[in-house]
Amino acid sequence: MRISKKNGKKFAQNLINAINNSKKNDLNRLITALGIRHVGSKAAKVLAKKYKTMDNLSAASFESLEQIEDIGPIVANSITEFFAQDQTADLLTKLKAAGVNMKYIGEKLADNRFEGKTFVLTGTLENYTRQEASDLIEKFGGKTSGTVSKKTDYVLAGNEAGSKLTKAENLGVKIITEAEFNEMCQ
């Protein structure tokens, strides 16, 4: 499957973003920006960690991909088809020539205080962007998700929190304020 007209606009925008952010780029961000079907930020992270470099990923076999946790046959197929395209190879060559980082940067603190904990963010935070809060949680070994379920450990609620807050209350999920979150990160 080639890149359709429908996806062209998004593709171009993602490409621009990838280039602009290249200074602090980690591999997972670049993978996300490629706009591979069924591969968003979560899957990109898993792929970056597994293959370490874009070269390794582009050469990955269907069998190899399918064995990865959370990656099934549909997603694996989507990835191999993407890298089989001539224009993908051209694109990667150009990005490389432009100095875009193609390697995984494994950064993790020794502090795993949030190990095994799942957070859901809702509302607007005062001192963090969503991205920063999310990065912070991950550096402490925790995870962030988009939907509240009984598996959620904490819902970090900022101002103007939405329906996730109600759902958290119904499920009896622990709700924390930004101030409480700060204390947990001290």
Partner DNA sequence: AGGCCTCGAGATCG
Partner DNA sequence: CTCGAGGCCT
State which of positions 77-116 bind DNA (CB under 7 A).
none
* 50 versus 143: smaller Cβ distance to DNA: 143
Q: Which CB atom, from 65 or from 100, has the smaller least distance to DNA?
A: 65
Instruction: State the minimum distance, in angstroms, from the CB of residue 89 to DNA.
Output: 20
Contacts 24+ apart (CB under 8 A), 24-32: 25/100, 25/101, 26/101, 26/104, 26/105, 26/107, 27/52, 27/53, 27/54, 27/101, 27/102, 27/103, 27/104, 27/105, 28/104, 30/54, 30/95, 30/100, 30/101, 30/102, 31/57
* 54 contributes a contact to DNA by CB under 7 A: no
Burial class (CB in 10 A: 0-12, 13-18, 19+), 81: middle
Least CB distance to DNA at residue 121 (A)? 6
The only residue of 44, 57, 92, 102 in contact with DNA, by rule CB under 7 A: 44
Site for DNA in 23-42 (CB under 7 A): 35-42
Residue 162: CB minimum distance to DNA, A: 2
List the one residue from 87, 112, 127, 149 that touches DNA (CB under 7 A): 149
Residue 158 touching DNA (CB under 7 A): yes
Q: Is 10 among the residues that bind DNA (CB under 7 A)?
A: yes
Task: Choose which of 25, 28, 101, 152 interacts with DNA (CB under 7 A).
Answer: 152
What are the CA-CA distances from residue 98 to residues 31, 49, 95, 145 (Å)?
16, 23, 5, 34
What is the binding site for DNA (CB under 7 A)? Answer: 7, 10, 35-44, 69-76, 118, 121-124, 129-131, 143-147, 149-152, 158, 160-164
